[in-house]
Amino acid sequence: NAGVTQTPKFQVLKTGQSMTLQCAQDMNHEYMSWYRQDPGMGLRLIHYSVGAGITDQGEVPNGYNVSRSTTEDFPLRLLSAAPSQTSVYFCASSQDRLNYGYTFGSGTRLTVV
């Protein structure tokens, strides 16, 4: 098992550009989430999904879109990058959320200039 794989690991964008952060898991987990972590801060939830075709907003969803067409993949799209979106982005997945912990990816470090 590769676990939760995030690509790219690093990215620099110009203000106004769009991009997609990829997240894939090979554990057949139903639950997946995206978090962002600003320097020196805790994790904040952006969007989450409880299964293929089902997504919902977290604490800080503005400026981001998600979709969940397959169980394995949960991409995060930045529509028009802004410097305030400079952050480290973590994707996580879980088998059933309650009885098992979430497995996190290693993160994507995004800088918007």
Q: Which residues inside 3-62 make contact with other proteins, applying CB under 8 A?
A: 4, 33, 35, 42-45, 48, 56, 58-59
Please tell me the distance from the alpha carbon of residue 68 to that of residue 32, in angstroms, as a whole number: 9
User: Which residue, 85 or 87, is less far from other proteins as judged by CB?
Assistant: 87
Q: By the 8 A CB rule, do 22 and 107 touch?
A: no
**Per CB under 8 A, 106 contacts other proteins:** yes
Q: Are strands 10-13 and 108-112 parallel, antiparallel or unpaired?
A: parallel
Q: Which two three-digit tokens encode residue 110?
A: 């995004």
Contacts with other proteins, residue ranges (CB under 8 A): 4, 33, 35, 42-45, 48, 56, 58-59, 88, 90, 92, 96-98, 100-107
